[in-house]
Each structure stands twice: as structure tokens, then as C-alpha cells.
Amino acid sequence: MTSGGKQEAEDASRPVPPARETLILTGNHAASFAVKAARVQVISAYPITPQSPVVEKLSEFVEDGELKARMIRVESEQSAMASLISASTTGTRVFTATSSHGLSYMHEQLAWAAGTRLPVVMCIVTRAIGAPWSVWPDHQDAVSERDTGWIQIFCEDNQEIYDTVLEAYKIAEDERVYLPVAVCYDGYILSHTLMPVELMSQAEVDKFLPPFKSHLMLAMSMDDPVGVNPVTVPEPREGFPAYMELRHRMQKALEGAAAVMEEVEAEFAKVSGRHHGGAVRSYRLDDAEVALVGMGSCSSQAKVAIDDLRAAGIKAGVLTVRLFRPFPKRQIREVLKGKKVVAVFDRDVAYGLEGALCAETKASLYGIPDPPYVHGFIVGIGGRDFTTENAIEGTRLAVERSRNREIHDETTWLNLMEGE
Amino acid sequence: MVNSRDPKSTIAAVQHPTVGEAGKTGTWRTFRPVIDENKCILVTSPKARCHTCWMFCPEGNISKTRPPRVNYDYCKGCGICAQSCPHDAIAMRKEEDEP
């Protein structure tokens, strides 16, 4: 199931079990409640705006005895990830959260978590990367880490954050995957905005998410100990895979992860009655000729523009990319084939090229017959508003330029100051 | 089923510690530790307990014997044993000076 909003989930009419409660939560606290429900055992984090409230809430849960977890206070994000790698190796369910420069500081350890195939789950509360200094939202921090081997899922509202954190553990700990997952959501726009969030009962979560078993547990024997991640030589040794084989296995796992995510979503929908669409989510795309594509806050804003665009005679819909890594090429191809124009709104820049989502959307469509005209826009960098008007302006421009299939090598930025 | 001890299914690199896993690292040595049995307390005082060099050797190349013996096949000559010896019984000698 790659289309249909959560409100259209098949099981939405089933009776809600009494043990559930709905709270008014910020995006950050929605994440904290999900981590508590997942019975995470080790939490290690370093504070950074706008992520800090996630871990502050978790430390309250631990202090009150509501969550039996070990909080490790570390001196940096690099140490936060390093300590979680060790904990996860032994079969412990772990969590951290960070933003922006904290994530950049973790970069090296991100690659180690993925390369060791550890199901670490982290919230990235997305924010701009300096210079110049900015504490405001865009997607640059998360997008800049796309090649580390992590799975990255972008959320659009607080309920989706809660649900996605629970799904993230299920995906990460699946034996076909065994990879770390980042649950990404826009700083402030979601992290500090209150919304109603329905919490699952503990019994429901426990059933959905059984205790985690590390693939290294067999190796972690006190009687016959091993070293993890020794130097691997270029060629296989004694029949054991070398660096290249292990990296090949990691890439294969990523290639299969989108299908696992869709399975997990279907299972989650049965328990919760909510379905977020799997790897991608469609909004009014069935009869659309024009697709607006975005992640997180970009797609929320694009949806608001659809009524106005349709009133103006542009049959438009929105494709929300939830899964950014692994990039859901097949799902995107299936949804966008037959569309005439695709306007991609990126809250990030793959500097020196164009928006990352745009470049990858184009790559996904390569080779299909009669492909849509794809035009990218850079919007909302460093907390600049990405407005409904911007979404309409961009879509109109894309439609206009599509008439002559104009090729623009330079990027188009919306909502810049006058004269720029 | 993923099993880190099975080459077909493992997804991470693991290593079973064995002697010489990284080759004969003794060839890296510039200075070699030489234990002076006249100063080593394990020899001079049969009841004494020490083995500080054995404890500190980062490569596990010193035996827990009386006197302790250095495995020159793998000793890289770091000199930690000489620094840590409380009785000044270990000298670092340049490789070419003596066999």
C-alpha cells in the first residue's frame, strides 16, 4: 500500500481499546513517549536545540521509575553514538536524539553503527547547518548524512513521529535489515508544536515489538570471546567476507529495507488502526497531472496549495517521501509514472548540484517511457518560511517551463529577498 | 539466521583473537626490552610478587613466569614494560647493538 492517507486506513473504524489515551504533545515529547513504550534500555545523548526536550522528558521517565533504562550523560554526540554502539552490540535496545551540528559531530560513529549492522534508533530534529549560525529548521543536517548507511524516515505530524519511532525499532531489528534508523522531523515546526497524539497501550506495543536480539549475541560469549570490527584486509580470508563483501551485504539489506518497512507498516496498521503510507504517501494524486514532491514540512505546505491549484485549473496532488534512505525508487516510479509535471521542493541543497530530493527523484524516473518533466525548487532554508504561495508559484513555474521542456542547469530558489 | 561465526550469513566482521593475527609485529621493533635477572625481584626474591611488566604489556607478550620472558616475535618495542618496572630491571637496547 503506497497511497492513501492515514485517515483512509482500512481499520480506522475498529473500536479503540480502552487502555489508549490521547495527550496533547509536542513532536519531541511524542518521540519520548514512543521510546518509553518501546522499553528502550540505554539512552545516551548530548543536548542541542531543538532536540533537547526529547531526552529531558526521557530522563524524567527514568527518574520517576516509569522507564527502566540507563541514561548515559556523555560529553559529546560522538560519545553518545559510540556508547550506544557498544550497548547495542550486546543486544540492548538503545536510543538517542540530536540535531544539526550535533549530528555532524556524530558523523564518523554513524558509519560505524551502520557498518556493524546495529539497530540503533535516533531522532534527528532537523535544523540548518552553519555557517552562518542558525538554530532554525531545514533538512540539511539529515540529508548531509544520507551516505552513512542509515535508514532515514521523515515525518509530517506528531502522531506520525510517535508511530514511526515504534516502527523504526521493528524495521531496524528485523533480521533482513539489522540497520540503524533515523526518525527525522522538522525542528520547531513539529518539535515544539502541540498536537493530539494517541498513545498505544503498553500491551499493544509489547506485542508489536518483542525484545531485541543482536546478531552479535552469539559472538558475545564469555567462553569464546571475539573482537568486533577488526581490520579487514582487501581480500577474503579463510572464507570470511572482507570489507567489500560486508559493504555489499549492507547495501543489499538497504535495498530490501523499503519492502520490510511496508510490511511493518501493514502490521502496525493492524494494531493501531493507523497507516502512514509506507515508503511514500500520496495525497490527491490519482487523477492529478502535476505532482508536488516534498519531505516533512515541505509536503505539509504543498498539500495546503492543492485546492488553490485545482481551482486555477492545475490538476495537482502531493507525493510525500517518507523514506529518504533507502531511496524508494520503485515506489516513486510507480506513483509518478504518467504524471506530466513534477515539482520537487527541497528544504536542503546538495551543494554544487541541486536539491537532493530533486536529483534523486529525477534519477528514479530515468529510463521510463515518456517520463514527467521534473523541476526542483530550493525553499525554506535556515527557517525561512515555505508558504502556500511559494508552493503555488513553484508549481506554476514548473508547469510553464514544462511546455517547452526547458532544461535549467541552475537552481531555482523561492522566497528570496527582493533583488537577490 | 544471521550468525557472526558463519561466513555465509555474517553481516559484521568479527575476529577470534589468536597469536599472530596481525603477522609478526616484532619486525617493527627499533628498541628491544631486555630483562636483567639480577635486578628482577621475581628472581632476586623468590617469595616476591610483581609481574608489573606482564600486567602493563599492551600486546600480552610477556609471560607470567619467573623471570618473565618477552616474546620477541610480536614485541613491537614500545618500552612500556621498561617504564613500568618498579625495580628498573628492564633496559631498552637498540636492535643493532646486540643480537
Domains for chain A: give ranges and CATH numbers.
6-216+247-272 (3.40.50.970), 280-402 (3.40.50.920)
Residue in the block written with cell 535544523: A127
At position B53, the amino acid (one-letter code) is C
* Contact between chains at A215 and B21 (C-beta distance less than 8 A): no
ipTM at complex level: 0.84
CB of A232 within 8 Å of a chain B CB? The answer is yes
Distance CA A172, CA A174 (A): 6
* Contact between chains at A178 and B10 (C-beta distance less than 8 A): no
Distance CA A344, CA A397 (A): 12
- Where do the DSSP E strands lie in A208-322? 227-228, 280-283, 290-294, 316-321
C-alpha distance across the termini of chain B, in Å: 53
pTM above 0.90, yes or no: no
Distance from CA of B87 to the nearest CA of A (A): 34
- The helix/strand count (H/E) of chain A reads as 12, 15
Distance from CA of B95 to the nearest CA of A (A): 28
In this complex, the residue of B11, B16, B21 whose CB is nearest that of residue A246 is: B11
The two most distant CA atoms of chain A are separated, in Å, by: 72
Torsion angle defined by CA atoms of residues A23, A27, A29 and A35, in that order, rounded to the nearest 10 degrees = 100
Phi first, then psi: give them for residue A42, nearest 5 degrees: -135, 130
Question: Measuring CA to CA, how many Å separate A329 from each of A178, A321, A351?
Answer: 21, 10, 22
Whether residue A179 contacts residue A150, with contact meaning beta carbons closer than 8 Å, is answered with yes
CB of A250 within 8 Å of a chain B CB? The answer is yes
Whether residue B70 contacts residue B25, with contact meaning beta carbons closer than 8 Å, is answered with no
Torsion angle defined by CA atoms of residues A166, A168, A170 and A175, in that order, rounded to the nearest 10 degrees = -170
Class of the CATH-defined domain B33-97: alpha beta
Whether residue A173 contacts residue A119, with contact meaning beta carbons closer than 8 Å, is answered with yes
A321 pairs with which residues across the strands?
A280
Cα A202 off chain centre by: 24
Task: Please state the domain extents for chain B.
Answer: 33-97
Give chain B's radius of gyration (CA, Å): 18
Find the closest chain B residue to A252 by CA distance: B11
Segments of chain A with pLDDT less than 50: 1-8
Peptide bond connecting B67 to the previous residue in cis, omega within 30 degrees of 0: yes
B99 confidence band (pLDDT: 50, 70, 90): low
DSSP label of A192: T
* Contact between chains at B7 and A241 (C-beta distance less than 8 A): yes
* Contact between chains at A215 and B11 (C-beta distance less than 8 A): yes
Pairing of strands A316-321, A280-283: antiparallel
Distance CA A234, CA A232 (A): 7
Q: Residue A3's pLDDT is what?
A: 46
Find the closest chain A residue to B14 by CA distance: A228
CB of A252 within 8 Å of a chain B CB? The answer is no
Distance CA A356, CA B47 (A): 71
A197 pairs with which residues across the strands?
A23
Contacts B7 to A, Cβ<8 Å: 239-241
CB of A210 within 8 Å of a chain B CB? The answer is no
Find the closest chain A residue to B3 by CA distance: A215
Q: Residue A390's pLDDT is what?
A: 97
Torsion angle defined by CA atoms of residues A221, A225, A228 and A233, in that order, rounded to the nearest 10 degrees = -140
Residue B15 has pLDDT above 90, yes or no: no
Q: Residue B18's pLDDT is what?
A: 79
Peptide bond connecting A253 to the previous residue in cis, omega within 30 degrees of 0: no
Cell numbers representing residue A311 in the block: 481551482
CB of A68 within 8 Å of a chain B CB? The answer is no
Cα A153 off chain centre by: 2
In this complex, the residue of B11, B16, B17 whose CB is nearest that of residue A249 is: B11
Distance from CA of A21 to the nearest CA of B (A): 38
SS3 call for A248: helix
A293 pairs with which residues across the strands?
A319, A344
Distance CA A168, CA A138 (A): 22
In this complex, the residue of A178, A228, A230 whose CB is nearest that of residue B2 is: A178
DSSP H or E run through A162: helix A158-172
Whether residue A201 contacts residue A19, with contact meaning beta carbons closer than 8 Å, is answered with yes
Q: Residue A1's pLDDT is what?
A: 40
Cell numbers representing residue B71 in the block: 616474546
Cell numbers representing residue B79 in the block: 618500552
Each residue's pLDDT tens digit, B64-85: 999 999 999 999 999 999 999 9
Residue/partner pairs of B92-98 with CB below 8 Å, 24 or more apart:
B92/B31, B92/B32, B92/B33, B92/B34, B93/B31, B93/B32, B93/B34, B94/B30, B94/B31, B95/B29, B95/B30, B95/B31, B95/B32, B98/B34
Distance CA A333, CA A356 (A): 17
In this complex, the residue of B3, B16, B21 whose CB is nearest that of residue A218 is: B3
In this complex, the residue of B3, B7, B22 whose CB is nearest that of residue A240 is: B7
Contacts B12 to A, Cβ<8 Å: 115-117, 215-216, 228-229, 246
* Contact between chains at B4 and A215 (C-beta distance less than 8 A): yes
In DSSP notation, B1-68 reads: ---TT-TTT--S-EE---TTTT--GGGG-SEEEEE-TTT-HHHHSTT----HHHHH-TT--B-SSSS-
* Contact between chains at A219 and B5 (C-beta distance less than 8 A): yes
Phi first, then psi: give them for residue A98, nearest 5 degrees: -160, 180
Each residue's pLDDT tens digit, B27-64: 999 999 999 999 999 999 989 999 999 999 999 999 99
CB of B21 within 8 Å of a chain A CB? The answer is yes
